[in-house]
Amino acid sequence: MRIGINSFLFTSPFTNESTKLFKTFKKWGFETVEIPVEDPSHIDPAHVKRELDKHGLVCGSVCACMGGGRDLRGTPEQQKTGLDYMMRLIDQMVVLDCPSLIGPVYSEVGRADAVPADEYKKQWATVVKHLKTLCRYAEKKGRQVCLEPLNRFETDFINTCDQGLKMLKDVGSPALRLHLDTFHMNIEEKNQAAAIKKAGKHLGHFHACGSDRGTPGNDHIDWKPIAAALRSIKYKGDVVIESFTTDVKVIARAAAIWRRMEPTRDEIAVKGIKFLKKTL
């Protein structure tokens, strides 16, 4: 298991200039960087790759930022916008030598409508169709797509490991994996360790966040069973700290971070990686 850091903790949007963070990430001991690409025009992937190489880091994952009308269950225009965007990310991942596209790759974040069962079924079929297309493209490019269930306040579509596994089964592509996040699981799962074990070989990516989206380990989550579950399924993927602070205003608003949860964002990274290395 490699320990990574999501750059949203320090900047939004990530641009070529943001690569100046890499030196600090390396100094703190991170092995991988998770880059949310809010718009493909924001980066030159070849430049980012050179900077990663220079600092002995890898881009372990590119985070799909599903806002701004990118919605595989939305209007026809939103469906096309979302699919086109994620295909462009996969193209950039090839240059970055990044294996995984991660996140809520099915819907615009914040859409929580509680639609009738018949409408939900139609939306599900539409998402299955588009994910089959996306995953065929990912297979062709040698990449994988890791689907993340979100909590009920961020989506009404896929909230749990069980729902995520059902989507994997319906899409039926080896390129589609599951992405679990301790913050979302803390709200939606009865037992986080049991969910990890249920995901098993399908788990392709993992976010380690405090129960309040702060520092992993400085919270009420029972981390020992989580670490044991990851070991029991022989998980070899990345474990990424994806925490947010009020310092990055755009992300703070999007993630409903209204107060300072830790003294500094540096502390989230430094104490977080120390805790994860000890626990995992």
Hey, where are the domains in the chain? 2-279
Residue 245 has pLDDT above 70, yes or no: no
Average the pLDDT over 79-103 and give the result. 98
Residue 243 has pLDDT above 90, yes or no: no
Calculate ∠ Cα 40-264-254, nearest 5°.
Answer: 40
User: Between these two residues, 130 and 268, which has the higher pLDDT value?
Assistant: 130
The string of DSSP codes covering 9-21 is: GT-SS--GGGGGG
CB within 8 Å of 60: residues ≥ 6 apart: 2, 4, 31, 32, 33, 34, 98, 99, 100, 238, 240
Could you read off the pLDDT of 182-233 as tens digits, one per residue?
A: 999 999 999 999 999 999 999 999 999 999 888 999 999 999 999 999 999 9
Average the pLDDT over 262-266 and give the result. 78
Rounded (10°) CA dihedral 260, 266, 269, 272: -70
Could you read off the pLDDT of 120-164 as tens digits, one per residue?
A: 999 999 999 999 999 999 999 999 999 999 999 999 999 999 999
Task: With H, G, I as helix, E, B as strand and everything else as coil, classify residue 103.
Answer: strand
pLDDT value of position 257: 63
Q: For strands 32-37 and 176-181, give the pairing.
A: unpaired
Distance CA 139, CA 268 (A): 35
**Two tokens, residue 212:** 């309040």
Task: List the beta bridge partners of residue 153.
Answer: none
Longest dimension (CA), the chain: 52
Distance CA 277, CA 223 (A): 12
Q: Calculate the average pLDDT of the chain.
A: 94
pLDDT value of position 272: 95
> pLDDT confidence of 68, banded at 50, 70, 90?
confident
pTM score above 0.75: yes
Distance CA 2, CA 204 (A): 12
Distance CA 263, CA 269 (A): 12
Residue range 2-279 forms a domain whose CATH class is alpha beta
pLDDT value of position 265: 80
Residue 250 has pLDDT above 70, yes or no: no
pLDDT value of position 254: 64
Residue 252 has pLDDT above 60, yes or no: no
